[in-house]
Chain A
Amino acid sequence: MLTRYKLFALTMISMLVLALAAACEDDGDGDKETLVFSDLNWTSAQVQNRIAQYIVEMGYEYPTDVVLGATLPLFQGLRAGDTHITMEIWLPNQDEAWNEAQANGEVVSLGQSLGKDWQSAFVIPAYLQEQYPDLDSVDDLKDPQFKELFVSAESGGKARLVSCVIGWACEEVNAAQIEGYGLSDHVHIVNPGDGAAGNADIYGAYEKGEPWLGYQWGTNDPALVLDLVRLTEPAYSDECWFTTKACAYEDATILIAAHPDVVTNAPDVVAFLRNWTFDIGQYSTVAAWLQDNPDADANDAALWWLNGNEAVWSSWVTEDAAEAIASALEDGETPDGWPEEG
């Protein structure tokens, strides 16, 4: 007689067998080692990862994977070799950690990504400048008429300025700039403890059409998505930067970095990454497309960009690789290493 124990055992065993069979199916990825990308938790880094993954998988036939995380843990991961490639190392923001890792031979620079970017500046929404055309430089914040616009209940009669995330390098730089511009008595600095919180503040003000004053940088989502104007600041010079900081930021340097193992294990991928020219102009077309297509994720964005910019990426890779990638795009293939959604 089939007791329920036997029945239960039978069900369990059959399920186990099925599970094992399913698990065995996707084995045998060839002999090339998997390249793990650091999936930094902001959009530009993820779009760059998806594009690079596509090229690496389809053109050079290395399996790829991603590890999602924040700047600091992922940089530790890269140093330890848990991840292999990071598409965005922000300098001078990460100067200290970067220099130390490079000196220890734990990371290798493969050139720049997202070049030609404006780094960081104090901005106001464009609609505000239309209303007040004379408000166009940091100096104008001393004018009571403009200062008044940004006063809040907490700011003690000063203009509320949403600065940089607590503990980031820009927190101290911005504070020094405010002091250097002679704005200490006119500006009340608010530092969010998290990037997403800072973004939400400007989105909220923009939604309501309210005055907003704060710090943004070229590749941050609000800067790409909203219509913002930079207030003019004294131009950058080494002399002022290393003394009073009473001048604008220098344009950012964003590096592609790899763990040294990659240089020996995947020299062809290294050569391709050294040719990388995806710059801020390219990325802003992607950001605009993402804005128009709210259903799209980073995977879709990468696919969209790759399909429309063959001339750009084919200059980065060997002829054989370019052919393989083009035919993969033609067949609508996607890399196995892409996360389900991202």
Chain B
Amino acid sequence: MAATDIEGAPRSADHALSGSGLLQRMQSRLPLLAGLAAMLVVLVVSLLVWGPGMGFPTTLSESETPAGERTVTLESTIRGETGDAIDRAVDWLTTEGDWLFDGISDAIAYALVNIEDALKWVPWPVIVVGLALLAFAVGRWTLMGFTALALLYLGFMDLWENAIDTIALITVAVAISLAIGLPLGVLGARSSIADNVMRPILDAMQTMPSFVYLLPGILFFGLGKPAGIFATVIYAVPPVIRLTNLGIRQVDPEVVEAALAFGSSPWQVLRKVQIPMALPTIMAGINQTTLMALAMVTIASMVAAGGLGDNVLRALQKNQSGNGLIAGLAIVFLAIIIDRLTQSIGSGEKGRMSAG
């Protein structure tokens, strides 16, 4: 609107008086006027026919049920019927897919129990000193100091065992996320169709309230660590898919063309050109996936996956803000250690490459 006014400004003196100019201006506004008129018609008609406060038709049928000497009217609604249909599908999957879910569940539980046992067997000073040295090797002495203090905090606050459970949970969740996410990211980068299909699914995975898919998850896997892993993977896998996809798409097409011209197979292009050049972006995706997995520990605890989320939930249920903060901080410290260590390892590699 503003644009046409400015354009028309110098000529307005001539055209305002001429009939054709007015007609032209009317014509240019015709779609807008027609749209508003249509809205007005709809408004008036619906007000006249149904009155204000008009609702959507949501009822499919009504039935009478006896209640004493009288009857109660029950409504069957579109939402009710749809929800029932989904319930039936979930029930069917629960009974028919039993063998599959049991297999997945046992494999995950086996991996987790072994990681936990191994980490709990190691005396804690070994872990504290080992991780502190690792922090020093990849970062600066501040990172080393922070790592040591944070781990001691976990220990002296009696959160050590639960922290180990959480770390085992995240390790397995991230491993599964990468096993699913990296190939899907590559697929999305290579095929626009796959990308267009995956994008809304990834959006749904990140925005769907967890309990909506967790309840079916419990029907499938039962309460316990596998259900926690299921929830965590759904929430944490999108970043690694998105950033792998993005990283590979950002590789200079001319470089790919050159590699093809030298006779590389598509597999060689992927392995020797695209993935190495996309590595910083992919690493950022892995880092994000790890942190998002940590963000899910409280939700995972709701399905009896154990770990630091237990401490948070217990404190909140009992209205103990102090205990809640102590456990919450423990999760934050773990996140910072994991984030800084993985980031330093990523940038360290890059630094060495450029130095060499």
Which residues of A pack against B, CB within 8 Å? 4, 7-8, 11, 14-15, 18, 21-22, 72, 97, 152-154, 156, 162, 165-168, 171, 190-194, 196-198, 200-201, 203-205, 207-208, 293-296, 300, 303-310, 329-330, 332
Is there a chain A Cβ closer than 8 Å to B68's Cβ? yes
Is there a chain A Cβ closer than 8 Å to B235's Cβ? no
From A162, A194, A207, contact of B302 by CB (8 A): A194
- 13 further A-B contacts with Cβ under 8 Å, apart from A153-B113, A196-B211, are A4-B32, A22-B52, A152-B109, A152-B224, A193-B310, A201-B223, A204-B218, A205-B222, A208-B94, A295-B76, A300-B72, A307-B67, A307-B68
Residues of B with C-beta under 8 A to A193: 298, 301-304, 309-310, 313
Q: Closest CB-CB distance, A287 to chain B, in whole Å?
A: 15
Is there a chain A Cβ closer than 8 Å to B147's Cβ? no
A167, B316: Cβ atoms closer than 8 Å: yes
**Known A162-B223, A167-B318, A203-B219: A307·B72 in contact at CB below 8 Å:** yes
Assembly CA distance A310 to B70 (angstroms): 11
A166, B223: Cβ atoms closer than 8 Å: no
Residue of A nearest to B47 (CB): A18
Residues of A with C-beta under 8 A to B29: 4
Which residues of B pack against A, CB within 8 Å? 29, 32-33, 36, 39-40, 43, 47, 52-53, 63, 65, 67-70, 72-77, 80, 84, 91, 94-95, 98, 105-106, 109-110, 112-113, 211, 214-215, 218-220, 222-225, 298, 301-304, 309-310, 313-319
From A171, A207, A300, A307, contact of B95 by CB (8 A): A207
Residues of B with C-beta under 8 A to A153: 105-106, 109-110, 113
Q: Closest CB-CB distance, B67 to chain A, in whole Å?
A: 4
Residues of B with C-beta under 8 A to A207: 91, 94-95, 219
- Classify the secondary structure of B's interface with A: helix
From A200, A296, A310, contact of B218 by CB (8 A): A200
Closest 9 CB pairs of A and B: A167-B317, A193-B302, A153-B109, A308-B68, A307-B67, A204-B219, A200-B218, A167-B314, A307-B68
Residues of B with C-beta under 8 A to A198: 223
Residues of A with C-beta under 8 A to B70: 307, 329-330, 332
B319, A72: Cβ atoms closer than 8 Å: yes
From A11, A72, A203, A304, contact of B43 by CB (8 A): A11
A156, B219: Cβ atoms closer than 8 Å: no
B317, A166: Cβ atoms closer than 8 Å: yes
B304, A197: Cβ atoms closer than 8 Å: yes
Residues of A with C-beta under 8 A to B63: 295
Residues of B with C-beta under 8 A to A296: 65, 72, 74
Residue of A nearest to B221 (CB): A204
Assembly CA distance A178 to B251 (angstroms): 60
Residues of A with C-beta under 8 A to B223: 162, 190, 192, 197-198, 200-201
Assembly CA distance A188 to B58 (angstroms): 47
Assembly CA distance A190 to B106 (angstroms): 16
- Can you give 12 A-B contacts (C-beta < 8 A)? A11-B36, A11-B43, A152-B109, A152-B224, A153-B105, A162-B304, A192-B304, A193-B298, A197-B214, A197-B223, A200-B215, A308-B67
In the complex, number of A-B residue pairs with CB atoms less than 8 Å apart? 138
**Known A72-B317, A153-B105: A309·B94 in contact at CB below 8 Å:** no
Assembly CA distance A165 to B33 (angstroms): 61
Residue of A nearest to B220 (CB): A204
A303, B94: Cβ atoms closer than 8 Å: no
A154, B94: Cβ atoms closer than 8 Å: no
Q: Closest CB-CB distance, B159 to chain A, in whole Å?
A: 15
A154, B74: Cβ atoms closer than 8 Å: no
Assembly CA distance A73 to B218 (angstroms): 27
Assembly CA distance A197 to B112 (angstroms): 21
B68, A11: Cβ atoms closer than 8 Å: no
**Known A167-B317, A307-B72: A190·B218 in contact at CB below 8 Å:** no
**Known A22-B53, A153-B110: A309·B68 in contact at CB below 8 Å:** yes
Residue of B nearest to A207 (CB): B94
Residue of B nearest to A156 (CB): B113
Assembly CA distance A165 to B98 (angstroms): 26
Residues of B with C-beta under 8 A to A171: 314
Assembly CA distance A168 to B47 (angstroms): 52
Assembly CA distance A303 to B67 (angstroms): 8
Residue of A nearest to B81 (CB): A295
Assembly CA distance A305 to B52 (angstroms): 34
Assembly CA distance A204 to B224 (angstroms): 13
Residues of B with C-beta under 8 A to A300: 72, 74
A166, B106: Cβ atoms closer than 8 Å: no
Most buried by A among B40, B110, B222: B222
A293, B74: Cβ atoms closer than 8 Å: yes
B315, A167: Cβ atoms closer than 8 Å: yes
Residue of B nearest to A171 (CB): B314
Assembly CA distance A167 to B310 (angstroms): 9
Q: Closest CB-CB distance, B23 to chain A, in whole Å?
A: 13
B36, A4: Cβ atoms closer than 8 Å: yes
Assembly CA distance A97 to B320 (angstroms): 13
Assembly CA distance A35 to B294 (angstroms): 44
Residues of A with C-beta under 8 A to B33: 4, 7
B80, A295: Cβ atoms closer than 8 Å: yes
B68, A192: Cβ atoms closer than 8 Å: no
Residue of A nearest to B316 (CB): A167
A7, B314: Cβ atoms closer than 8 Å: no
Assembly CA distance A296 to B183 (angstroms): 47
Q: Closest CB-CB distance, B285 to chain A, in whole Å?
A: 29
**Known A166-B313, A167-B317, A193-B301: A204·B76 in contact at CB below 8 Å:** no
Q: Closest CB-CB distance, A77 to chain B, in whole Å?
A: 14
